[in-house]
Amino acid sequence: MDYERGKKQMYFLAFYAISLIIWIVEETYTLLQPADAFDRFRVLIASIESLIVVSSFTLLYLLVKDLRSAGKEIEQAQQIISQYKVKNQLLNNPQQGYAHLMNEEFQKWKFTPSETEVAIFILRGFSNQQIASVREKSLRTIENQTFAIYQKSGMRGKLEFISYFINPLLPEED
């Protein structure tokens, strides 16, 4: 589901919820009025309508819950598809080499030349302190660059970043 469609659905659900609240207020007012012999039928109808409102709120809650769940599933599926794209590129183009595929990913993430150099050191297993020493930069500079690398690549840290590039090389699990 794309973002705009989800946004429209949430607006519709909000409008529906407001309509139900107005309906509940009206029905509560009807039920609280003293009933005479002719109004008893009206009270019965109002009670049935109130049950329908409660059921509608339950369904509304379930719909919102499903929408959020579907959004998370779609996000996970997109991550898996992205990983398989990298793996397919590696398997279909071995002559281009792994370094070429890494550089394509770095370009896709719009790494600066410095970030590309730091990313390669990260993939080689260097610590931030070691990278700072080799590049003759301050530790704070390297920490800032690694933070930018993880942000741009959508990774949460060093292990996830390294794993992203190692997974295509590993055999499939049976």
For residue range 33-82, what is the model confidence (pLDDT) as tens digits?
Answer: 766 655 666 666 777 777 787 778 888 888 888 888 888 888 888 877 87
Residue with tokens 């770095």: 106
CB-based contact 118:149 (threshold 8 Å): yes
- Is residue 151's pLDDT more than 90? yes
- Mean pLDDT calculated for residue range 144-171: 87
- Is residue 114's pLDDT more than 90? yes
CB-based contact 165:101 (threshold 8 Å): no
In this prediction the pTM is 0.49
pLDDT at 40: 64
CA torsion angle for 72, 76, 77, 82 (degrees, to 10)?
140
- Is residue 125's pLDDT more than 70? yes
Alpha-carbon gap, residue 93 to 87, rounded angstroms:
10
Alpha-carbon gap, residue 27 to 53, rounded angstroms:
10
CB-based contact 50:24 (threshold 8 Å): yes
Distances (CA, A) of 31 to 50, 67, 85, 87, 167: 10, 35, 61, 65, 64
- Mean pLDDT calculated for residue range 119-125: 92
